Structure 1
């Protein structure tokens, strides 16, 4: 893979330029027809203070919404974004709601108060190893939190609902990915009605909380070593701007439970990325700064996929965005799974929660099974 120069010197310190670390040209989703569907709309962004949620808010604010509501459980991020947007957009009608999506009553009250027309659901627990240790929190926040927001969106007749999903939802090998796959299934079960539902699948977002680039840079700054879990790890990357633009485009096109996927080119080998970052800092890999393998973390997969049905894609008006065909899922099946998950949560047993989630998500596999097969292919 050919890499562009990704860093520049400023006051003796290297500064990251994320767009140049993609291993491809950034995707311009264009503004044909603009994003006028946002204009004069009441917009709700859950998890609005996070990396993706805040960028959705910034891009939405530019389009002149009638009202923008940021819902987040973490007040500091929400406060900082509030200050930023109030300075940048003097006439923006901005509201902040501090609440958890796990609180169905709070969610309903927010919908009753504002009657949002467009809902972008970014609130979620996303860190794979942490959710392996705390599966109950992943189920409560990602699954039941999403269920609460979907239910409110239908009850209060929102025009559009867009779920931020992940490549880890495709053939998941961990709790976080399986919980997000179940959320995609939730959309398939409620896609008929007045609300247009859609999901968007992301790869890794450069510069997001917990992403690998800042971790590598901090390790290089300390003199190494740089740690990777496995030399064969492959990942798709995208910029924050691409991610938020894709969400908004999906919102514009959302109709009946589609899953939108961005053409992200070829995946990046994390080992190559680590080596190049070391060089860009002026060091020689393995000589000045070592790279060591620490072993795959619980639930981690060597290669993340964006598509479950590679041959069943539908093109959209934007040549960089595709729709993956989804099977029909009965609401009764989802309701049954939700009850089983609720019972498992009452039991407070991680194993029972994991077992209930595996039953609910048929594509959920053990990571060893998937990784062993992939290693055979790579070798």
Structure 2
């Protein structure tokens, strides 16, 4: 197609745009010198009446004009955006060059150069220079309209991947503000071919060269079926272009109904490069299908994803127990839209209220309970809120679990955290105490022949959850930085919210009681590396958006652990899901529960002291 060929030619010469602009301007100024003579002397005399030195005057004036243009940064203007501002800059440049040139000619006593020519030449030059730029803009917009169906400036994309996903992507975005200039693929059989009339230019690692050559504005990674490691390699190569990087949905997102034609920004989970955990869908369906399921903290980041995951398995009824009215309304609206066939019970309630819990469990008779209600922000809980963390995380777990046992629930699953291992903060110690509560109840229920199975699931930081560093990093990048990291060596285990929720429902399906399930989360991630990756994927460099270190916050440690040193782990039939059998004998968790239940407040230091008595491995950070 002629317009695509023209577009290809223009993009190839774009790196030398300023030099070419000066050359064209020189030709226009010289041509306008002749046109001015023609206008002043007419056809008969416009050439013969000139002095012998006229050609040298013209060349000197052209050099003068180009010097003024460079000084006023005229060549840096982009002709396809030419408007009134560009005409203003040209007017000033022509006026200065014309005035200086006329004065120089007169002072040199070159009297045979007509004064009218000296006066008219800047005006004619301005008209010629402006017409060239406006003509180019008209041609460019017409070309864009013929290629993309829109005359407005579009985003020029280079797509990584030349498979079916790329074909669907091109069909979906070509007429919505995008122009796909070329495709990249490591499959040598595809090189030189065309997908939906877009050429496959080269392998993935040639992205920087093609991006510069074609004036690319965005890189799109279209490899939904690639492994996480392959996607991560493609993202690193895309980031090397220093352009914004977007991606089509992953294979998991496509299975959940997202379409290939929708591109999104790079998320932190794209950067982890980990294989998803394979779960026993049949076993989970058997454990949850046709059951009454109650979720505490149903409106939180983990609780709401649990609601979505549980709803997929067709529960008889879903009971949403949430303290925040707004969070409860939000998840109720979402579930009603996507799972209209599932009856919902929406309850505003507090897990610290034993009477309301007991009445609720007696009335709805849940068979499976997921306990996600918790205070989890480490620095907030460390100072002035230690007792609130203890009452909510530990006492709240005791009361919710006791109500579940009294109501005859089949399973009770506590959402725990890696911060419960060798805790250095109140939040982690309160969650470790909650695990001890689960162990105590499991033993008591087993001793009296009860039916409720109690278990906990322990995992690392969840990407995108409330309090997560990722949303904070994205906000800081959007504001232009700096991005704040507490310490250059701080590391964390990470997992996605859906992955965490699936782990929890799997634990509910296979748990036998008194167990803490742990996910093998691979290697920990350095937070500063994650910040650098997000900056690169946004199309910025470390110089543009710097990273600053603010220091460790109260209760924070450099690294987290998933298992304490003394814990024994057992394998399950799921490769990356293990069981930690914890030795809780001799721990009097009941004394701490009774103490917390008897009062409405307590000093932070006393809370820490009592937690330390129970959780022997608790060592406050910095002490």
User: What residue is the counterpart of 1:65 in the other structure?
Assistant: 315
Answer yes or no: is the 8 Å Cα contact 1:230–1:296 preserved in 2: yes
2:591 corresponds in structure 1 to: 336
Look up the match of 2:442: 191
Match of 1:172 in 2: 423
Return 154-163 or 355-364, whichever deviates more. 355-364
Q: Which of 391, 395, 417 is equivalent to 1:140?
A: 391
CA distance in 1, matches of 2:327, 2:288: 23
1:207-226 equivalences in 2 (<5 Å):
207-226=464-483
Per the alignment, residue 278 of structure 2 pairs with: 28
Q: Say if 2:491 and 2:560, in contact at 8 Å, map to a contact too.
A: yes
**Cα distance in 2 for residues equivalent to 1:268 and 1:117:** 37
Find the aligned partners of 2:441 and 2:539 in 1 and give their Cα distance: 54
Q: Does the alignment pair 1:367 with 2:590?
A: no
SS at match of 1:163: strand
Equivalent in the alignment of 2:367: 117
The partner residue of 2:508 within 251, 262, 267 is: 251
Cα deviations by residue, 1:318-354 (Å, 9 ceiling, x for unpaired):
1110001211435x812122234446x5563221122
CA–CA distance in structure 2, aligned partners of residues 30 and 335 of structure 1: 36
2:487 counterpart of 1:230: yes
In 1, are the aligned partners of 2:288 and 2:314 still within 8 Å (CA)?
A: yes
Question: How far off is 1:266 after superposition?
Answer: 0.3
TM-score (norm 2): 0.56
- Cα distance change, pair 213–338 in 1 and its aligned pair in 2 (3 A): same
Give the Cα separation in 2 of the matches to 1:139 and 1:154. Answer: 21
1:105 maps to which residue?
355
**Greater relative contact order (Cα 8 A, min sep 6): structure 1 or 2?**
1
Q: Per the alignment, do residues 356 and 342 of structure 1 end up closer, same or farther by CA in structure 2, a change over 3 Å counting?
A: farther
Q: Which has the higher helix share?
A: 2
The answer as to whether partners of 1:205 and 1:239 remain within 8 angstroms in 2 is yes
Deviations 1:283-314 (A, max 9, x none): 211x1111111000000010000111477210
Alpha-carbon distance between aligned partners in 2 of 1:212 and 1:151, rounded to the nearest angstrom:
34
Count of matched residue pairs: 363
Between the aligned partners of 2:610 and 2:567, the Cα distance in structure 1 is 30
User: Separation in 1 of the partners of 2:401 and 2:357?
Assistant: 10
Contact conserved, 2:280 with 2:506, CA < 8 A, in 1? Answer: no
Aligned mates of 1:14, 1:259 — CA distance in 2: 36
CA drift at 1:34: 4.6
Q: CA RMSD in A?
A: 2.0
Equivalent residue, structure 2, for 1:376: none
| Cα contact 1:29–1:320 (8 A) shared by 2 | no
1:8 aligns with 2:246: yes
Equivalence for 1:353: 607
User: Is contact 1:165-1:199 (8 Å) kept?
Assistant: yes
Q: Which of 373, 378, 385 is the equivalent residue of 1:128? A: 378
CA contact (8 A) 1:202 1:306 kept: yes
**Separation in structure 1 between the aligned mates of residue 473 and residue 601 of structure 2, nearest angstrom:** 39
Alignment partner of 2:355: what SS? helix
**Native 8 Å contact 1:205 1:211 kept in 2:** yes
Check the 8 A contact 2:391/2:596 in 1, yes or no: no
Q: CA deviation at 1:36?
A: 2.0
The offset of 1:9, in angstroms, is 7.4
Question: Which sits farther off after the overlay, 24-33 or 221-230?
Answer: 24-33
Gaps of 5+ in 1: 370-379
* CA 54–80 in structure 1, closer or farther in 2 if over 3 Å, else same: same
Distance 1:50 1:294 in 2: 28
| C-alpha distance in structure 1 between counterparts of 2:601 and 2:436, whole Å | 24
Distance 1:88-1:328 versus aligned 2 partners, 3 A rule: same
Rg (Cα) greater in structure: 2
* Secondary structure, counterpart of 2:618 in structure 1: coil
Alignment of 1:285-304 (within 5 A): 285=542, 287-304=543-560
Deviating more after overlay: 306-315 vs 122-131: 306-315
Q: How many angstroms does 1:30 deviate by?
A: 4.6
| In 2: Cα distance, 1:205 partner to 1:348 partner | 30
- SS of the residue corresponding to residue 8 of structure 1 reads strand
Q: How many angstroms apart in 1 are the aligned matches of 2:607 and 2:283?
A: 45
Mapping of residues 276-291 of structure 1, within 5 Å: 276-285=533-542, 287-291=543-547
CA contact (8 A) 1:341 1:356 kept: no
**1:46-85 residue pairs with structure 2 within 5 A?**
46-85=296-335
Cross-structure match for 1:321: 577
Please tell me whether the aligned partners of residues 341 and 357 of structure 1 are also in contact (alpha carbons under 8 angstroms).
Answer: no
Alpha-carbon distance in 2 for matches of 1:224, 1:17: 18
Question: Residues 201 and 259 of structure 1 are in contact (CA less than 8 Å); yes or no, is this contact kept in structure 2?
Answer: yes
Change (3 A) 1:236 1:15: same
Shift of 1:15: 2.3
Detail structure 1 runs of 4+ shifted over 3 Å in the superposition.
340-343
Deviation per CA, 1:177-214: give whole Å up to 9, x if none: 00000000111111132211110011111111111111
* Residues 44 and 69, structure 1, Cα contact 8 Å, conserved in 2: yes
Structure 1, 188-197 or 166-175: larger mean CA deviation: 188-197
SS of match in other structure, 1:238: strand
**SS of 1:90's equivalent?**
coil
Which residue is equivalent to 1:17? 267
